[in-house]
Amino acid sequence: MNVSNFEKITFVIKLMKKNHSIIQVGICITIFLFSLWAKSADARSGLSVNFHYNNDTYEISGKKINEYTYIFNQGAPRKIKITTLDWPPYIGKDLCKQGWVQQLTIAMLASQGYEIVCTFYPWARAVATVESGDTDILYPEYFIETEAPSDVYKGTRRLDHLAISKKIPGGPIAFIKRKDEKDNYNGNLFNLQGTAIGVVRGYQNTPEFDTLMDLNFFNTYEVTNDLINIKMLIAGRVDLIIGDPAVIYYSVKDSDWAADEKAQRLNALETVKPVIQYNHLYYAVSKKQPEWEQTLEMLNRTIAEFEKSGELFNIIQRTNSGCGFILETLPQTTDVPQPGK
């Protein structure tokens, strides 16, 4: 039986009239307020996915089942396990609506009748679960080069274990510099020989940049996250940092720094133009699954359907505008990136 907020308030007032102790009344009020907070937290959790498909409107609910795992569209006849990472503002378990990548992914899989179990892991562990076949799909992935080696199974290639889907929108890889300072990039990496550049350890940037970095063409400094990179840049310890501007700027907004400190640091940064490369995103399907080819076909077909109907871009724009995320670029098709707002 559901009890309304009005009934709960009435009950507390009756307790007060019956001269119950202040402690008893306080406990009741605390329980009542906590229940309201819990419901509010559920509403903020983003575990609801709304989309249009084949002229119908759907609302898919999800819930948390442990610290890292969520289930969506529970009870659907087909089952699929997917794994991802915290990579705001694209996706994150504590992010508003869990980000547009999550909203799009759940919408596409739910439209095909799947119950979806989604687990958030650090990237290396997420990769290991799909290459080993413990989960069906890893996302979001950058394009995997043919000879890219597996870190899970030494002496093999990643594509020995994974199949890559049709691409979906992604974001740029660019240099960030101190505002109004001159840079020598001008679209040519060879202009940056010996330049001090901050990179995040383990991140894939672009094949050309990563190759030159491995050859010590740049004077690179490896750090563990974007916030450390930003501090190094502002302090003058490096001349440039590299990454996705949306991710870098969001890391500042989501940091524990004071509001004025965030504003000062954001105002001190500038994206170097032109961007180095636009990176589309992909789904990686585990070849260890018996029906991986059918899963890949389903993904490619559904991506094409959502793109053709316009719902793919509607989901991205609704999520970003509703959550206040501003991405520097948003392609209007998955083939040609166009400036966005």
What's 97's domain CATH number? Answer: 3.40.190.10
Q: What is the mean pLDDT of residues 282-309?
A: 97
Same domain, yes or no: 227 and 103? no
Contact 124, 201 (CB under 8 A): no
Nearest to 244 by CA among 91, 46, 84, 126: 91
**Residue 208 domain-assigned?**
yes
pLDDT in tens, 135-187: 999 999 999 989 889 989 999 999 999 999 999 999 999 999 999 999 999 99
Q: Is the pLDDT of residue 120 over 90?
A: yes
pLDDT in tens, 8-48: 445 444 544 555 555 554 544 444 443 333 333 443 444 89
226: buried, middle or exposed (CB in 10 Å: 19+, 13-18, 0-12)? buried
Mean of all residue pLDDT scores within the chain:
86
Nearest to 272 by CA among 148, 168, 145, 174: 174
pLDDT in tens, 93-110: 999 999 999 999 999 999
The residue out of 220, 242, 277 marking a domain boundary is 277
Same domain, yes or no: 79 and 187? no
**Residue 232 domain-assigned?**
yes
Range of the domain at 249: 171-277
Domain count, the chain: 3
Q: What is the mean pLDDT of residues 202-215?
A: 89
Same domain, yes or no: 150 and 224? no
Q: What is the pTM assigned to this prediction?
A: 0.78
Same domain, yes or no: 257 and 120? no
Same domain, yes or no: 176 and 120? no
Same domain, yes or no: 154 and 290? yes
**Residue 337 domain-assigned?**
no
Q: Does residue 184 or residue 6 have the better pLDDT? A: 184
The residue out of 277, 307, 333 marking a domain boundary is 277
Q: What percentage of the chain reaches a pLDDT higher than 90? A: 74
**Residue 328 domain-assigned?**
no
Contact 161, 286 (CB under 8 A): yes
